[in-house]
Amino acid sequence: MKIPPLPFTPTDWSSVPPSEHPGTTGKAIWRTLNFGDIRVRVVEYSPGYLADHWCDRGHILYVVEGELDTELKDGRSFTLTAGMSYEVSDFGDAPHRSSTRTGAKLFVVD
């Protein structure tokens, strides 16, 4: 990841417009900023959320609140709680999808 030239920019995430993304069940609310090829998001998953796709994109993901279950296509699964993160590459070696029973708030850079 190469961060493009940009000025120091504080962000009030409550002022970033939300967009809704339905899952197979539940929904995700994204607040998204783009800086060149870098996307930065605060994502909130509703309780009972299950992603509607396997994701091949690389992410750095930090759980701010709640509990997130991440399933890898190869069958492995991981549960992350507030204060935990995961990092995965863009190279397709770990297609993954997210779900949560309780809801979760995430900070994601990809």
pLDDT range class, residue 91, cuts 50, 70, 90:
confident
For residues 57-78, give the mean pLDDT.
96
Query: Could you give the count of Cα atoms lying within 13 Å of 39 in the half-sphere of its Cβ?
Result: 12
Which runs of E-coded beta strand occur in the chain? Answer: 18-22, 27-35, 38-45, 49-50, 59-72, 77-81, 85-88, 96-100, 104-109
CATH superfamily of 18-109: Jelly Rolls (2.60.120.10)
- This prediction's pTM: 0.92
For residues 9-17, give the mean pLDDT.
96
Residue 18 reports pLDDT greater than 80: yes
Judge residue 75's burial from the number of C-beta atoms within 10 Å of its C-beta, 0-12 exposed, 13-18 middle, 19 or more buried: exposed
Q: Residue 90 has what pLDDT?
A: 85
Q: Where are the domains of the chain?
A: 18-109
Q: Residue 4 has what pLDDT?
A: 83
